[in-house]
Amino acid sequence: MSIKRSYLLLFFPSVLAYFAVAGYGFFFKAAVPGSCVIILFILYPKRIKSMPDIWLVVAALLFSIVGDWFLSNKGDSFMMFSAGIGLYLLAHVGYLWFALLNGKLHKLFTILVLTGFLLFFFVKLYPAIEDTILLIATLLYLLISCFSLGAAFGLKLAPLVKWSYFAGVSFILFSDTLIALYEYTSYEGMNFLILPTYYAAHISITFALIRRAG
């Protein structure tokens, strides 16, 4: 399939994202990253051996699907919520690893992002989290998310690939920040942006990889 036609495939996760945001159930939530995985398999069948780092993004998308399931079914279960966080953390490891294989951590940018989010953690989240394990897990997730964004900023790929990938990781971090505010502080003012930015992240990262294949 030509690269130009591959861009048209992004229509499918975009439509699925609409139904997911509209509340049509977990199937559509899972189908957004799932369709992105299918697009990558369609796009990279002959390139997968020369570009094995694609598997890291595929793994990140799959971890996101399972993490979505845990959070969608968590109810009041601490274990389900913690498992969801753990799976999202693994997804960030995939995004981080891919970026490091194709660039390096941008130190200054990472320091700035870490400073901002550590302030956010200690001012807003730390006073609201009573469980020590959850506190540590949240801090670890915040740290890996910041390093993932710093590595995306340091990508050594074509500009459109780099900034599309960076935008995708940024969307994830923004969505996760809103989730943390809601879960730990009950702030709901921007909840309407959680799912749109989360699915925009998958689509943006997939767009970056389509562009890279060209």
**Whether pLDDT at 75 is above 90:** no
Per-position b or e across 29-47, b if 16+ CB within 10 A of its CB: bbbbbbbbbebbeebbeee
Beta-carbon neighbour count of residue 191 at 10 Å? 12
pLDDT in tens, 89-129: 999 999 999 999 999 999 999 999 999 999 999 999 999 98
pLDDT of 1 strictly over 60: no
Q: Give pLDDT tens digits for 6-39.
A: 788 999 999 999 999 999 999 999 999 999 999 9
Cα–Cα dist 81/76, whole Å: 8
The domains of the chain are located at 3-213
Helical (H) or strand (E) element with 97: helix 78-101
Is the separation of the CB atoms in 167 and 204 below 8 Å? yes
- Cβ-Cβ contacts under 8 Å for 95 (sequence gap 6 or more): 56, 57, 60, 148, 151, 152, 168, 169, 172, 205
Q: What is the pLDDT of residues 134-146, one digit of tens each?
A: 888 899 999 999 9
- Measured CA to CA, the distance from residue 203 to residue 61 in angstroms comes to 11
